[in-house]
Amino acid sequence: MKTMTKARLKSPWVLHFDCGSCNGCDIEILAALTPKFDAERFGIVNIGDPKQADMLLVTGPSNKRNQRVLKNLYEQMPEPKVVVAIGECACTGAIFHNCPNTNGGIDKIIPVDVYVPGCAARPEQIVDGIVLALQKLAEKSEKEAD
Amino acid sequence: MLENISLNTIFSIVLIFCAPIIGGFLMGIDRKLTARMQSRMGPPIIQPFYDVIKLWGKEPFISSTLQPILAFCYFGFSLTSFALLALGQDLLLIIFTLGIADSCLIIASLNSKSPYSVLGGKRELLSIMSYEPVLLLTAISIYYVTGSFMVARIFYLSYPLISYLPLVFIALIPVLVIDLKKSPYDVSASGHAHQELVRGVFTEFSGYSLALIELGHWTKVVMMLSLVSLFWATNLIIGICLALVLFFIVLVIDNVYPRLDWKSMLKTTWSIGIILIIANIVGLIARVVMHI
């Protein structure tokens, strides 16, 4: 089972979902995936298919329109999986926390493993968050093995 | 003599079981070289193995019970076509077995309600339609030179096949690009980082069925490259080098060109590919006629 955990840590495929972000955090996520930071050297691949993804990166406060989509994407991902909330809005709702149309933080809809604060979160912070998420993934993998 | 044959057969059988592993390393080298071409570090060479092991351990999500069976058939038939090649069997049979492997993938992708998967399957059908005539004509031109469709007969030639069929060799480049699912002809399933139809034919696969598809793809790559190496069968080491050079050319093409639509794929392979092969055969016939 050790091999399995190692393989999981070495190839986290990420799915990126924007649920109503201002695009600031999305630009930073894409910046973290560019050749400068070279996420692929850790095996990180940006994959568009929830069925093949291990990690869900969510930006923006979820709102009443897209909470269904967010939940659907989460449910379509096979276990083991981790969710990373990127940016202040995804973590708490930030300045939109009491807007009538938003839910204020994605953890009201799906369970979140790692919170990356910042408006917008910097690429270095995002990479740090993903490393934390990998530790969570290892824990989940070990728990599954037991 | 008998001992010699059995030794060759044992070597072939070992090679058949090693084919997916060799393919995995080739895909790792592919990702590393692509990264270096984009001035990145790139993942380790064994990255594809991590991916497949991880996929094997994921929770199985099966949208149709037929899909895992067909994924297994894709891997099985790819391996069968490589086995036929390694044992020096009929070229036509090899090409048709490869066709069956692809058909399994197409049936699996059409057997779902996802529009992305269905559209990917249709595009995969178009890519088969593009390269299959070129492959068949390649087999026919090899028949013209050796007088047989058997792969084993190629080894009896005194000169390498490429000296008779240089244009056919060039015509195989777009075929290899389509088969490796590389830009500009990766319409059926997008490679990494540039999605168009989510993941095309692979959209509905996940977990171990996707791992089987990956293994099948690796075997298919090895099978196509060994087909190329037959062009210098008099010295197989040169033949393997030739195949690796072609592999590198395909990677350069992948990094230089953006994705083109299926119409230009069909036009390139059917016009340039078929014209090159026919010109080659006509040239061979003309040479024989001139001698007489």
Domains of chain A, start order: 2-145 (3.40.50.12280)
3-class DSSP assignment, residue B43: coil
Residues of B in contact with A6 (CB under 8 A): 50
Distance from CA of A42 to the nearest CA of B (A): 6
Question: What is the bridge-based pairing of β-strands A13-18 and A45-46?
Answer: parallel
Confidence of residue B191 (pLDDT cuts 50, 70, 90): low
Task: Show the tokens assigned to B55.
Answer: 């996929």
Mean pLDDT in residue range B220-248: 91
Helices (H) and strands (E) in chain A, counts: 5, 5
Asked if A78 and B59 come within 8 Å (Cβ–Cβ), the reply is: yes
Residues of B in contact with A34 (CB under 8 A): none
Beta-carbon-side half-sphere exposure of residue B249 (alpha carbons within 13 Å): 15
Measured CB to CB, residues of chain A less than 8 Å from chain B are 3-4, 6-8, 10-11, 33, 35, 38, 40-43, 45-49, 51-52, 54, 76, 78-80, 141
Burial B199-213 (b: 16+ CB within 10 A, else e): bbbbbbbbbbbbbbb
Which pLDDT score, from 0 to 100, does residue B29 have?
94
Contact B209, B66 (CB under 8 A): no
Asked if A41 and B39 come within 8 Å (Cβ–Cβ), the reply is: no
Mean pLDDT of chain B: 88
Contact B82, B222 (CB under 8 A): yes
Which pLDDT score, from 0 to 100, does residue B292 have?
62
> What is the Cα–Cα distance from B244 to A96, expressed in whole angstroms?
56
The DSSP result for B249-290, as a single string, is HHHHHHHHPPP--HHHHHHIIIIIIHHHHHHHHHHHHHHHHH
Contact B47, A43 (CB under 8 A): yes
Confidence of residue B235 (pLDDT cuts 50, 70, 90): confident
B278 contacts: CB under 8 Å, gap ≥ 6: B137
Q: List the single residue in A with minimal CA-CA distance to B191.
A: A47
Give the residue ranges of chain A where pLDDT is below 70: 1
| Predicted confidence (pLDDT) per residue in B5-18, tens digit | 677 788 888 888 88
3-class DSSP assignment, residue A115: strand
Which pLDDT score, from 0 to 100, does residue B60 have?
85
Contact B189, B199 (CB under 8 A): yes
Neighbours of B2 (CB within 10 A): 6
Residues of B in contact with A3 (CB under 8 A): 53
Preceding omega of B286 cis (within 30 degrees of 0):
no
Task: Show the tokens assigned to A54.
Answer: 């291990």
Domain that holds residue B91: 2-291
> What is the Cα–Cα distance from A92 to B191, expressed in whole angstroms?
35
Residues of A in contact with B24 (CB under 8 A): none
Which pLDDT score, from 0 to 100, does residue B158 have?
83
> What is the Cα–Cα distance from A23 to A60, expressed in whole angstroms?
8
Task: Indicate which of A1, A49, A73 best probes the interface with B, i.e. most B CBs within 10 Å of its own CB.
Answer: A49
Which pLDDT score, from 0 to 100, does residue A111 have?
92
| Predicted confidence (pLDDT) per residue in B130-183, tens digit | 999 999 999 999 998 888 898 888 888 888 888 888 899 999 999 999 888 888
- Please give the sequence-ordered ranges of beta strands (E in DSSP) within chain A, or none if there are none: 13-18, 45-46, 55-59, 82-86, 114-116
φ, ψ (nearest 5 deg) of residue B286: -60, -40
Asked if A38 and B40 come within 8 Å (Cβ–Cβ), the reply is: yes
Contact A126, A26 (CB under 8 A): no
* Identity of the amino acid at B195: Q
**C-alpha gyration radius of chain A:** 15
> What is the Cα–Cα distance from B241 to B23, expressed in whole angstroms?
15
Q: Quick one: which H or E segment has residue B27? A: helix B2-37
Q: What is the pTM assigned to this prediction?
A: 0.90
3-class DSSP assignment, residue A121: coil
Mean pLDDT in residue range B21-32: 93
Which pLDDT score, from 0 to 100, does residue B3 have?
57
Residues of B in contact with A30 (CB under 8 A): none
* Identity of the amino acid at B134: V
Provide the percentage of residues in chain B whose pLDDT is more than 70: 96
Confidence of residue B1 (pLDDT cuts 50, 70, 90): very low
Mean pLDDT in residue range B34-61: 90
Helices (H) and strands (E) in chain B, counts: 11, 0
- Order of strands across the sheet that contains A13-18: A45-46, A13-18, A55-59, A82-86, A114-116
Asked if A48 and B57 come within 8 Å (Cβ–Cβ), the reply is: no
Nearest to A78 among B35, B204, B207 (CB): B207
Nearest to B43 among A35, A41, A80 (CB): A41
Residues of B in contact with A75 (CB under 8 A): none
Contact A84, A36 (CB under 8 A): no
Q: Please state the domain count of chain B.
A: 1
Task: Indicate which of B38, B45, B58, B117 best probes the interface with A, i.e. most A CBs within 10 Å of its own CB.
Answer: B58
Which pLDDT score, from 0 to 100, does residue B164 have?
86
Beta-carbon-side half-sphere exposure of residue A134 (alpha carbons within 13 Å): 19
